[in-house]
Amino acid sequence: MKAGGKIDLKSEIFYTSSHEETVELGRQIGKGLKAGAVIALIGELGAGKTSFTQGIAEGLGVTSYVKSPSFTIVNEYKGRLPVYHIDLYRLGDINEIRELGIEEYFYSDGVTIVEWAEKAIPLLPASYLFIRFFYTGEKTRKIEIRRVE
């Protein structure tokens, strides 16, 4: 993970060269999250969204194994704060997503992480972390983190 100094969540770009570095970046972000935080993850299949989510969960004190909820849509984990991991990969349009009522998670007492969040941008709260993953090589990733307010 290459970045200088403290993690500034206003807008930052990180480069990771392994699964472990991607998890560690997520862990560092997770340590600083507060109740009500929403994280929107965007990137191609296999770009590191779930690895990053595993790190966020670890940073929030989750001890159980975190996996992508592709078939269940939402996985919930217990940690310092509840973690709601939502995967919209298999869902179609915004109306299908709206019918699930996922907005309730955005205004909860936990941290909500949404994979394939580009499908639900109109439903996201006014303030959230926007995180985009880019392939830069077989094991390397560029991770752009931006606070939306």
In this prediction, residue 101 carries a pLDDT of 86
**What is the number of residues in the chain?**
149
* Eight-state DSSP code of residue 25: H
Q: Provide the whole-model pTM.
A: 0.89
Q: Please state, in angstroms and rounded to a whole number, the distance separating the CA atoms of residues 74 and 137.
A: 30
Beta pairing class for 74-77 and 83-87? antiparallel
Let me know if 113 is exposed, middle or buried by CB neighbors in 10 A (0-12, 13-18, 19+).
buried
Q: Which residues of the chain have pLDDT under 70?
A: 1-9, 70
Q: What is the CA angle 49-50-55, rounded to 5? A: 100
pLDDT of residue 46: 86
- Torsion from C-alpha of 23, 29, 32, 34, nearest 10 degrees: -100
pLDDT at residue 5, rounded to an integer? 42
Could you count the other beta carbons within 10 Å of the beta carbon of residue 100? 16
Per-residue pLDDT, 90: 86
Q: Which superfamily does 11-148 belong to?
A: P-loop containing nucleotide triphosphate hydrolases (3.40.50.300)
